[in-house]
Amino acid sequence: MNSIKTAILAEKPSVARSIAEIVGATTKKDGYMEGNNYLVTWAFGHLVQLALPEHYGAKGFSKDHLPIIPHEFMLIPRQVRAEKGYKDDPSAVRQLKIIEQVFKQCERIIVATDSGREGELIHRYIYDYLASDVYCERLWISSLTEKAIKEGLQKLKPSTEYDNLYAAAEARSCADWLIGINSSQALSVAAGNGVYSLGRVQTPTLAMVCSRYLENKNFKPVPFWQMQLVTSIAGKNVTAADKDKYFDNTEATTLYNKVRYAENVSAVKVERKEIRQEPPLLYDLTTLQKEANSKHGFPAEKTLSIAQKLYESKYLTYPRTGSRYVPDDVFMEIGGLIGKLKGYTRYASYAEKLSDTNLNIRPVDDKKVTDHHALLITENLPDKLSEDEHTIYEMVVARMLEAFSSACVKDVTSITFGIDDAQFEVKGSVMKRAGWREVLNEKEENAEDGTELPDIQEGEIYPVSSISLQEKQTKPKPLHMESSLLGAMETCGKDLESEEQRLALKTCGIGTPATRAAIIETLFSRDYIRREKKSLVPTDKGLAVYDIVKDKRIADVEMTGYWEDAFLKIERGEQQAGNFTKGIEVYTRQITEELLNLNLPFSANAYTCPKCGKQGLRFLSSVCKCSDEACDFVLFRNCGGKKLTDDIFIELLSEGKTRLIKGLTAKSGKTFDAYLILNSECKVTYEFPERKSNYKRGSKRGK
């Protein structure tokens, strides 16, 4: 029995319960569990945060305060919005007092917050805020199974071995504060109305959404022409496309007229080769989020939430990973995990088959494993899952089976037909060995559609069935979906086809796998972007902000990527956190000055008060009001249970009437649709859409 009283700090109550059960802390107390000389307590995520500007004497938004660069950052309990400003979160204050009492009773602390940068920050901020000096050791695990926790408790390391990890986390936290607070206040001061939010990662991400949207919207299609040939070989029609595209209609028509009446075509080149397609690598969080979005329409935040729940339920390993590889010691356990899947109905037969083969070692590389290895299932097979949980779990199962399977082998045939100077090409492929593709049996995207071409010999002549000239148009890049935006965040906005290139740039992508979903959700909450089906589209407010910052330092995607690379170097001890922070302070002064000197098109003077006629409306977080204190004109954002956006306010002010607002809620609780009208008294009223007459079949309309 452990004779030293030991505190264990987990990140969430559910994790604390799993650990408490294993160490024998079975007696429930207020905010912790106790037993066997262990006191197991928990945080609720970030209980402590960096102090707000007012704690440094900078109350309100004022040009005179900026930039706000604290000589030394202070820590305060987590804040929640109050009627005026912010206040300490009562639940955070209460749990901090419990943690403080637990720490004081113990002679050592086992840090069991999530094993990563944010988990380390959560612990250190609590520890420093409470001014504790109790000796700490670190529990570093990749899953919450009983086996993983027991093994982790046998391999505890002094907390000091994770000082570099904390230094990187603290540097990130301070950089986000300095850039976010100062840029947001500077833009809001320059605008003179409303509160505008900018951020170190948020703003470059908004820039990627807006630039793609404008590129798509302003794209002018260019017509081009391409010939298509149909030939009949052994009773089977084969269609081939001209190798060239013609952007000159006269040139295209001239060439077409030369060959349009040809009776025969020659197979001038026939290439046959065997292609090996290696299986995809295992999932990291970003790849899982991208594929869950493109295949199932899941927002990134939803995928993370489900994966986190499956982790806490002991069905998946730690989800907030940036690696797609496993180390050698974990590879030794893969065979056992595949063996477990023999009891999982959908993949039982494939697991049985894979168990009898040599596993592919492509996903095994110690050097490419960061804080955590790639996403895997655990030895615990789930009993009951919700439909969405089932979807994510089976994605991880299938990818694990694919990654350790053999390559897919295909015979690919490429044929070039020739008539005079025109050349037509067609490709076909035949599967020789399905390999990893057998797991899901999905049709390959952008493939030669698995068409088996007839036996065509080089130099042979074949009859022409038809030749046509088709007019086509160039197409713009599609609007970003969450899947493509996550990919752009991962590679600093560079469009890369090569898996190796993408992996190489991951170290300097913007955000981390753990934070990218939250950044996208922040853009939604700020009313900067919205969803149109699966596409991400900027709002007028988002476009207005982008138009201001697009050529400013705050929107520089690559610079933000270099910072992420710097955090990794700080983690590895290759760069000093202090030097990085000094650089961020210089940058903060630069962007603050840059933003304060802006002449903005959406300043307070842009809108006229409909009641007093003076220019200067203020768009605030809860209301739109006249900047003249003597005027009582006000529009409340909360209307019929809906939060009105700036776009809606502007419609109401300029047109006197909004678009149809759907899903408003009456006092009775019933929902309805209505137009908002600004009446002669400058009050908002409802106008209901006309109801369509509803006659039953066979009824008469009257005489």
CATH of the domain at 441: 2.70.20.10
What CA–CA distance (Å, rounded) separates 237 from 243? Answer: 19
Q: State yes or no: pLDDT of 95 exceeds 50.
A: yes
pLDDT tens-place string over residues 98-118: 999 999 999 999 999 998 889
Q: CATH number of the domain at 64, please.
A: 3.40.50.140
Domain identity same for 324 and 245: no
Distances (CA, A) of 24 to 29, 35, 39, 152, 304: 14, 6, 10, 16, 31
CATH number at residue 490: 1.10.460.10
pLDDT at 692 over 70: no
State whether 28 and 133 are in the same domain: yes
Task: With H, G, I as helix, E, B as strand and everything else as coil, classify residue 178.
Answer: helix
Last residue in a domain, options 596, 628, 659: 596
Q: In this model, does residue 524 exceed pLDDT 50?
A: yes
Whether the predicted pLDDT of 498 surpasses 60: no
Query: Parallel, antiparallel, or unpaired for β 236-242 and 529-532?
Result: unpaired
Residue 25 and residue 104 in one domain: yes
3-state SS, residue 394? helix
Q: Does 699 score more than 80 pLDDT?
A: no
The pLDDT of residue 136 is above 80: yes
pLDDT at 500 over 60: no
Of the candidate ranges 167-171, 343-347, 359-363, 447-451, the one whose mean pLDDT is the lowest? 447-451
Do 257 and 293 belong to one domain? Answer: no
The alpha carbon torsion through 300, 306, 312, 318 (nearest 10 deg) reads -40
Residue 697 pLDDT class (50, 70, 90 cuts): very low
What is the per-residue pLDDT for 495? 59
Average pLDDT over residues 543-552: 88
Average pLDDT over residues 504-527: 81
Q: What is the pLDDT of residue 493?
A: 61
> Do 313 and 446 share a structural domain?
no
pLDDT at 205 over 90: yes
- The pLDDT confidence band at residue 59, using thresholds 50, 70 and 90, is confident
The pair of structure tokens assigned to 114 is 């999530």
At 622, the pLDDT band (50, 70, 90 cuts) reads: confident
Q: Which residues contact 216 (CB under 8 A, 6 or more apart)?
A: 476, 477, 478, 479
Specify the range with the lowest mean pLDDT, choosing from 62-76, 400-414, 490-504, 565-579: 490-504
Q: Taking 50 as the threshold, does the pLDDT of residue 703 lie above it? A: no
Q: Is residue 693 part of a domain?
A: no
Provide mean pLDDT across the span 141-159. Answer: 93
Round the average pLDDT of the chain to a whole number and report it. 88
**Residue 221: is the preceding peptide bond cis (ω within 30°)?**
no
Cβ 539 vs Cβ 597: under 8 Å: no
The answer to whether residue 142 scores a pLDDT higher than 50 is yes
Query: Into how many domains does the chain fold?
Result: 5
- What is the model's pLDDT at position 508? 63
pLDDT confidence of residue 696: 41
The answer to whether residue 330 sits within a structural domain is yes
- Average pLDDT in the 183-201 region? 83
Percentage of the chain exceeding pLDDT 90: 62
Residue 602 lies in a domain: no
Beta bridge partners of 671: 665
Evaluate whether 360 touches 279 at the Cβ level (below 8 Å): yes
Q: Which amino acid is at 35?
A: G
Residues 34 and 144 in one domain: yes
H/E/C letters for each residue in 5-72? CEEEEECCHHHHHHHHHHHCCCEECCCEEEECCEEEEECCCCCEEECCHHHHCCCCCCHHHCCCCCCC
Which CATH number covers residue 349? 1.10.290.10
Average pLDDT of the segment spanning 499-528: 76
- Classify residue 392: in a domain, yes or no: yes
Mean pLDDT of 280-301: 94
Please check whether residues 254 and 293 belong to one and the same domain.
no
Name the band, by pLDDT with cuts 50, 70 and 90, for residue 480. very high
pLDDT band at 642 (very low <50, low <70, confident <90, very high): confident
pLDDT at residue 170 tops 50: yes
pLDDT for 602 equals 52
Same domain, 533 and 671: no
35: domain range? 6-155
Residue 672 lies in a domain: yes
Same-domain status, 591 and 509 = yes
**What local confidence, expressed as pLDDT, does residue 698 receive?**
39
Residue 405's pLDDT band (boundaries 50, 70, 90)? very high
Q: Any idea which of 134-138, 149-153, 190-194 has the lowest mean pLDDT?
A: 190-194
CA 288/CA 278 separation, integer angstroms: 19
| Longest alpha-carbon distance in the chain | 96
- What pLDDT, on a 0 to 100 scale, did the predictor assign at position 580? 94
Q: pTM for the complete prediction?
A: 0.78
**What pLDDT, on the 0 to 100 scale, is given for residue 454?**
86
In a domain, 398, yes or no: yes
Q: Is 175 a member of any domain?
A: no
511 pLDDT higher than 80? yes
pLDDT of residue 668: 86
Residue 265 identity (one-letter amino acid) = V
Both 151 and 18 in one domain: the answer is yes
Q: State yes or no: pLDDT of 502 exceeds 70.
A: no
Residue predicted with more confidence, 371 or 27: 27
Active-site positions read 318
Q: Are residues 592 and 614 both part of a single domain?
A: no
Which residue would you say has higher pLDDT here, 679 or 84? 679
pLDDT > 80? residue 253: yes
pLDDT-derived band of residue 444, with 50, 70 and 90 as boundaries?
low
Q: At 414, which helix (H) or strand (E)?
A: strand 408-419
- pLDDT computed for residue 496 by the predictor: 47
- Residue 169 located in a structural domain: no
Q: Which of 355, 371, 403 is the last residue of a domain?
A: 403
pLDDT-derived band at 29 (thresholds 50, 70, 90) equals very high
From 473, 497, 520, give the residue that closes a domain: 473
Question: Does residue 131 sit in the same domain as residue 19?
Answer: yes
Looking at residue 450, its pLDDT comes to 55
